[in-house]
Amino acid sequence: MKTVEKNILIQFQYYLMDKGYSNKTRMNVMHEVKQFDKWGAYQKIRKIIGTNYTDMLLYIKHCNAIGNQKKTIYLKLLFLRYFFDYLIREKHATENPVANIQLQGIRKSRLHDILSSDELEKTYFNFPSKTTTEKRNKVIVGLLIFQGLRVEEVKSMMVDDVDLKNKKIVVLRGRKREGRILILRSEQIRHLKKYVNVTRKMILRHTGKSTDKLIVSYGSSYNTQNIMRKCLKQLRKINYQISTFDQIRASVITNWMRHFNLRETQYMSGHRYVSSTERYKLNNLDRLVEAIGKYHPM
């Protein structure tokens, strides 16, 4: 190795182990990081941790030149994205040069950076709940992280859809989704109960609004889009790996796939077709390595 310190690579391997990736996946990730490092040394990039967007475009051009297929290049970029995310977490780097790169032709197959159940729960527990708006927003975050709800499902949920006594919520059928009944986690019950019985009523009194919607804003508008935008901004401060609400939902469903069968996951996800649920198998990096390695060896 010429541009990445050995101790950083060792710690990165431990990081991958903590994430639960298989030996094969870890070996593939480390191999790609080392290959990228060698390429960087040849290009006279003094330190890989300082790689920028332009450098990554040159690397993609190099991969094309040596005959790599698009899916193989995509996998290489995914590995490098994990590596730079790790560098940012450990404060070795300040930006991820892979973050905004999308390859044409495989956009529909684009996978999210999947957060583990532990990472999601940690994010929920670290989400503040001191102010009135924070108490409301923590309820939103709980529904996203524990029940994997779509943003529009959270926004359209009614107070009567929450059954605190039986610790369940009802998600109504939509134009492109199936209805379902989901179990509430014990971690949510206290915050939900306080929000429904106290906080929400305070907001309604303060704003003079009259609505049966579960989530209500502090402003004059009934639109909750601004609430969701602020929620996401706060989530990103707590966990820098979070990029979108879709990523959170994809993480929840992918984690469900590891503990429940396909039909159970389909029901909990509200997917109308089982094929929609099957797509989330690809979010498992170990399976992705195996699938792409079979047809597009690196």
Domain positions in the chain are 6-109, 117-280
Q: CA-CA distances (angstroms) from residue 250 to 35, 64, 114, 144, 268?
A: 30, 30, 7, 10, 13
Assess whether pLDDT exceeds 70 at residue 288.
Answer: no
Structural domain 6-109, CATH architecture:
Orthogonal Bundle (1.10)
State the pLDDT at residue 110.
Answer: 45
Assess whether pLDDT exceeds 50 at residue 1.
Answer: no
Q: How far is CA 92 from the centre of its chain?
A: 22
227: tokens are 């609430």
User: Given this chain, do its domains 6-109 and 117-280 carry the same CATH topology?
Assistant: no
* Mean pLDDT, residues 77-97: 85
CATH fold of 117-280, please?
Answer: hpI Integrase; Chain A (1.10.443)
CA dihedral for 123, 113, 171, 202, sign (positive or negative):
positive
**96 vs 181: which has the higher pLDDT:** 181
**Residue 154 dihedral angles phi and psi, to the nearest 5°:** -65, -45
Residue 266 — very low, low, confident or very high, per pLDDT cuts 50/70/90? very high
Assess whether pLDDT exceeds 60 at residue 263.
Answer: yes
Residue 183 — very low, low, confident or very high, per pLDDT cuts 50/70/90? very high
User: Residue 156's beta-bridge partner residues?
Assistant: none
Residue 296 — very low, low, confident or very high, per pLDDT cuts 50/70/90? very low
What's the chain's average pLDDT? 85
User: Residue 181's beta-bridge partner residues?
Assistant: 170
Rounded Cα distance, 182 and 153, in Å = 13
For the chain, the DSSP string reads --SS-HHHHHHHHHHHHHTT--HHHHHHHHHHHHHHHHHHHHTT-S-GGG--HHHHHHHHHHHHHTT--HHHHHHHHHHHHHHHHHHHHTTS-S--TTTT---TT-GGG----PPPHHHHHHHHHHS---SHHHHHHHHHHHHHHHS---HHHHHH-BGGGEETTTTEEEE---SSS--EEEEPPHHHHHHHHHIIIIIHHHHHHHHT----BSS--SSS----HHHHHHHHHHHHHH-TT---HHHHHHHHHHHHHTTS-HHHHHHHHT-SSHHHHHGGGGGSHHHHHHHHHHHS--
Instruction: Identify which of 74-88, 128-142, 268-282 has the greatest average pLDDT.
Output: 128-142
State the pLDDT at residue 209.
Answer: 92
